[in-house]
Amino acid sequence: MTHNYEIIDGRCVIPHGVIHIVHKEFESAHSLREVVIPASVDMIGSYAFSDCISLSKVELPYSLTAIGIGAFSDCPLKSVKLPKRLLVIESGAFAGCELESVDIPESVLRIDEGAFSGCVWMEGISVDEKNPNFRSVSNTCLTKDGKTVVFGCKNSFIPSGVRQIGTQAFEDCWDLEAITIPEGVVSIGDLAFSGCCNLRSIKLPNSLKTIGREAFSYCEKLIRPKIPAGVEIGEDAFFLPKDCNDDELSC
């Protein structure tokens, strides 16, 4: 449903002059297939289009500077062009979408944890080389200094120089089957690989110091990796339902 706008034949045209699309404005508007957002809008609020299960087409205006928490979560969007004035992508903004790739523009200053979690179709990640805060290497979004993985996809390769895998960096990346974490990495963040249900193999470096909370939870096919001595392991780091065996984490 929507509180302020009319949906006609699956399409909604938001009138010019609107500045903010407010919290949960279109949440669970299951009939919405396309939305036209005017160039006056500078912010899309939290969960504004969450669970719009038919929404497959949206054009974000050049005026947009912020996309709120869960704004487009669980929408079947296959592509979206992020505008060149965008500054902030909040947590879960595109979680569970069907995006095949994402291009982060030069303007983006902040990408929050889990912004693209569960985008299981994603194959490509790129960042404008002029962006002062982020860069991309081998389909992996990194902080500009190359020390932290912000988010990845099934085709990601983690390059040397990385020191930490960020929170929710690969969460619900269903088609990720194997990945090598290079020497030099000291921490794997909370939920970093949670829900990677086809992940079978992961190599952990001797440099590793901490594995975060639920980092590998619900990785049902993962063969338990060799964990270097002295690593601090967070709560439920390898959590699975009780009927899984010890050697192969498979239900």
Query: What CATH number does the domain containing 136 carry?
Result: 3.80.10.10
Average pLDDT of the residues of the chain: 94
Residue 110 lies in a domain: no
Q: Which residue's entry shows tokens 């928490």?
A: 69
What strands, in cross-sheet order, belong to the sheet with 134-137?
Answer: 134-137, 140-143, 148-151, 164-165, 187-188, 210-211, 232-233
Whether residues 138 and 251 fall in one domain? yes
Q: Do 130 and 233 share a domain, yes or no?
A: yes
Q: What is the domain extent for residue 18?
A: 1-98
Q: What percent of the chain has pLDDT over 90?
A: 93
The residue from 98, 131, 150 where one domain ends is: 98
User: Which residue carries 């960096």 as its tokens?
Assistant: 169
Does one domain contain both 154 and 218? Answer: yes
Q: What is the largest CA-CA distance in the chain?
A: 61
Question: Tokens 């979206």 appear where?
Answer: 80
Which pLDDT score, from 0 to 100, does residue 247 have?
A: 44
Question: Does any domain span residue 112?
Answer: no
pTM above 0.85, yes or no: yes
What local confidence, expressed as pLDDT, does residue 2 receive? 59
